[in-house]
């Protein structure tokens, strides 16, 4: 099975670089001497079979893991030297949707906006959910939503965040073709 991963840089002046990075999982080398660059306004689509290291690569690019060799730079500086600033500009969506199951879709949007320091009115929150086809679902607990609807709530939440760099691991899983 082939899966997909996306890196999207929104700011025209931003740049994410991986220079000759090596990644091990246990004793197994997943990849070595891998280099890539994503500049503002670009989208990099990474495809490959299950287990080849796509998620491991994303963990390296987000700073959640450290490469065995090589370096990862954000705007020319190592991400470790600017960890807090880098993570403020980064939006990472992994395999899990990171939504609060006992809250409604609307409450999830509003809570995460508040955590991110974003002022969002109820009308703006609703408009974001509706943009993703969730009319009539905004007051349901997330636990009552389908996997695809949960993914839509997550995408609505991310859209409010205006991050410079989006790193999305299998972002289209559970979404129908209409989404």
pTM of the predicted protein model: 0.76
How much is the mean pLDDT over the chain?
Answer: 87
User: In whole angstroms, what is the distance from residue 79 CA to residue 60 CA?
Assistant: 10
Beta strands in the chain (DSSP E): 2-9, 15-25, 28-39, 43-49, 69-74, 77-78, 90-93, 165-169
Q: Quick check: 1 pLDDT over 50?
A: no
Q: Quick check: 10 pLDDT over 70?
A: no
- Compare 11 and 96 and report the one with higher pLDDT: 96
Q: Quick check: 132 pLDDT over 50?
A: yes
The dihedral over CA atoms of 130, 174, 59, 79, expressed in degrees to the nearest 10, equals -20
Helix spans in 32-171 (H): 54-62, 83-88, 105-115, 122-131, 147-159
Classify residue 33 as left (phi > 0), alpha (psi -120 to 50) or beta: left
Residue 148, helix vs strand vs coil: helix
Question: What pLDDT score was predicted for residue 9?
Answer: 58
Q: Quick check: 70 pLDDT over 80?
A: yes
Helix spans in the chain (H): 54-62, 83-88, 105-115, 122-131, 147-159
Q: Quick check: 104 pLDDT over 90?
A: yes
């Amino acid at each position: 099975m082939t899966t997909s991963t996306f890196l999207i840089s929104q700011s025209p002046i931003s740049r994410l670089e991986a220079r000759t990075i090596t990644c091990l999982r246990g004793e197994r080398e997943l990849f070595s001497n891998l280099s890539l660059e994503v500049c503002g306004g670009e989208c990099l689509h990474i495809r490959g079979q299950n287990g080849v290291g796509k998620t491991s690569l994303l963990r390296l690019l987000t700073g959640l893991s450290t490469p065995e060799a090589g370096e990862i730079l954000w705007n020319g500086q190592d991400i470790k030297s600017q960890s807090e600033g880098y993570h403020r500009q980064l939006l990472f969506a992994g395999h899990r949707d990171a939504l609060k199951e006992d809250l409604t879709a609307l409450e999830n949007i509003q809570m995460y906006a508040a955590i991110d320091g974003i002022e969002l009115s109820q009308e703006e929150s609703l408009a974001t959910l509706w943009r993703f086809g969730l009319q009539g679902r905004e007051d349901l607990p997330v636990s009552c939503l389908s996997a695809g609807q949960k993914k839509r709530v997550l995408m609505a939440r991310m859209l409010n965040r205006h991050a410079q760099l989006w790193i999305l691991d299998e972002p289209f899983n559970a979404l129908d073709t209409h989404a």
